[in-house]
Structure 1
Amino acid sequence: MGMGYEILYIIKSAVAEEKRTAINDKVKSIIESGKGEILLHKEIGLKELASEFSKETQGYYVQVQYTANNKILDELGNFFHITEDVLRHLNVTLESIQTNVSEDAVADTAPSRPRRHG
């Protein structure tokens, strides 16, 4: 098992559900193809952006907690940089990996002093 990470990415609000599903499936595929494990995949949904970005005022937020190696991190970074439908992404290291807890409990637990990747 690699290190634990959490990524939050924001998909443009105008993107159709089928395309959002394809983006989410690709993220899962990248993680699993590199022998990573998805611990949590949560579609938070449509939210207002804190400030306008690329003429967008809303975005569809997705949170994923996973284990991975550096190769997976690089592949995810490359994928998000070439995917025009993703406004922003932030990947942080989890200080500890919690297993066998409810999704709500994990979502409420924020890592302390995260390190940025990507």
Structure 2
Amino acid sequence: MRHYELVFVLKPTLSEEELNSRVEAIQNLIKENQGEIYNLEKWGRRNLAYPIQKFNSGYYYLINYKTDNNKLAGILEYNLRITEDVIRFLNMKIHVKEDKKEVA
């Protein structure tokens, strides 16, 4: 099973309701494509290192998920790219060491 880490930034002009609906839509997209979310963190509103689309800040989120679906990363990146409320995103494959116990 492959593990991924997705960090994305949403526009600072969104209301709390709109933020929640965008995050929920991303979660649903992962779940619909055989992904399993095991961590979701809301980092809150933070300043950007440089202006992006004339915005100086944005709402940061982190989602860790795992999947066996090879195409999920591409599907997710395509949808994030065409969503106007997403300023930036980074989807990375990570290596997780799992403890394996020997059977005696």
Give distance in 1, aligned partners of 2:97 and 2:53. 34
Where do 4+ consecutive residues of structure 1 move more than 3 Å? none
Give distance in 2, aligned partners of 1:60 and 1:97. 30
The alignment of Structure 1 onto Structure 2 pairs a total of residues equal to 97
Q: C-alpha displacement at 1:13, in angstroms?
A: 0.5
The one-letter code matched in structure 1 to 2:4 is Y
- The answer as to 2:89 corresponding to 1:89 is yes
Query: Judging changes above 3 Å, is the alpha-carbon distance between structure 1 residues 70 and 44 closer, same or farther for their aligned structure 2 residues?
Result: same
Give unmatched runs, 5+ long, in structure 1: 99-118
| Residue correspondence of structure 1 range 21-100 to structure 2 within 5 A | 21-68=20-67, 69-96=69-96
Give unmatched runs, 5+ long, in structure 2: 99-104
- The answer as to 2:9 corresponding to 1:10 is yes
Give distance in 1, aligned partners of 2:40 and 2:57. 20
The one-letter code matched in structure 2 to 1:92 is M
Q: Which has the larger radius of gyration?
A: 2
**Structure with larger RCO (C-alpha < 8 A, sep 6+):** 2
Identity percentage over the alignment? Answer: 30
Q: C-alpha displacement at 1:70, in angstroms?
A: 2.3
Contact 1:45 1:62 in 2 (8 A): yes
Give distance in 2, aligned partners of 1:81 and 1:8. 13
Q: TM-score, normalised by structure 2?
A: 0.87
Give distance in 2, aligned partners of 1:79 and 1:26. 10
Give distance in 2, aligned partners of 1:54 and 1:77. 19
Give distance in 1, aligned partners of 2:41 and 2:97. 16
Contact 1:4 1:97 in 2 (8 A): no
Q: C-alpha displacement at 1:31, in angstroms?
A: 1.0
Q: C-alpha displacement at 1:71, in angstroms?
A: 2.1
Give distance in 2, aligned partners of 1:29 and 1:73. 14
